[in-house]
Amino acid sequence: MRRKMYWGMAGALLSLLMFLAGCGGEVAETAGVPPETVTAVLEEETPEAPPAGIAETPEVEETETPEAEAAETPAEGDAAAETLEIGATGTELAFTKDQLEAPADTMVQLTFDNNATGLQHNWVLVDGGRDVADQVAQAATGAPDFIPESEQIIAATETLDPGESQTISFTTPPPGEYIYLCTVPGHYQGGMWGTLTTR
């Protein structure tokens, strides 16, 4: 009696499984798509999950940053020095100019031409007025080349023979008036001097 019951239940269960399998096929065929195709599509569209504990890193697009163009700074050339020109007269104990002007505290170039026909001359700038010029002229008498070593002398040319010329560079003193002279003995006393004014 029990065996017949078991066989009956097994048959009913088998029939149910066959029915369900048939229904699944009919649903796929009703949509016009074979079950194998549906399965393949589902497998392709389903993304694979990353392994546990590993987070996905989003891709970052590299942005090209243009290099900044270096600003071109034009090199500033050295400013041209102020220029002065002066000479000795041909036959007299005198300079061609008894007044010179120049900016104060500025680098200058001075050219001295000895235009004399038969005498030596120089150009010496002293740090002061006539009193300082008197002291320098007196000290020049026994000095080599008639130019004494003195802190009162700001600038000086060499003592030049007739027809010679020399250019010197020096920084002008602070604003004021300064005497220049020829220190060859007797020339300053004979009137060979002038004034440089700096402003």
Does pLDDT of 47 surpass 60?
no
Q: How many domains does the chain have?
A: 2
Pairing, β 176-181 against β 124-126:
antiparallel
Classify residue 157 by burial, with Cβ atoms within 10 Å: 0-12, 13-18, 19+. buried
Q: Which band of pLDDT confidence, cut at 50, 70 and 90, is reported for residue 52?
A: low
Does pLDDT of 58 surpass 60?
no
Q: Is residue 8 domain-shared with residue 90, that is, in the same domain?
A: no
**Residue 8 domain flag:** yes
Q: Is residue 41 domain-shared with residue 91, that is, in the same domain?
A: no
Does pLDDT of 96 surpass 50?
yes
d(CA 105, CA 81): 12
CATH of the domain at 113: 2.60.40.420
Residue 38: its pLDDT value, please? Answer: 41
Cβ(92)–Cβ(100) under 8 Å?
no
**Residue 116 domain flag:** yes
Residue 166: its pLDDT value, please? Answer: 98
Q: Is residue 32 domain-shared with residue 98, that is, in the same domain?
A: no
**Residue 161 domain flag:** yes
Domain region containing 152: 82-198
d(CA 121, CA 146): 10
Q: Is residue 113 domain-shared with residue 184, that is, in the same domain?
A: yes
Does pLDDT of 55 surpass 70?
no
Q: Which band of pLDDT confidence, cut at 50, 70 and 90, is reported for residue 109?
A: very high
Per the prediction, the chain carries an average pLDDT of 77
Question: pTM of whole model > 0.85?
Answer: no
**Residue 187 domain flag:** yes
Does pLDDT of 152 surpass 80?
yes
Residue 8 corresponds to which tokens in the numbers above? 């009956």
More confident residue, 35 or 175: 175
3 state DSSP class of 19: helix
Of 23-32, 73-82, 107-116, least confident by mean pLDDT is: 23-32
Q: Is residue 110 domain-shared with residue 191, that is, in the same domain?
A: yes
**Residue 62 domain flag:** no
Q: Is residue 28 domain-shared with residue 98, that is, in the same domain?
A: no
d(CA 41, CA 147): 111
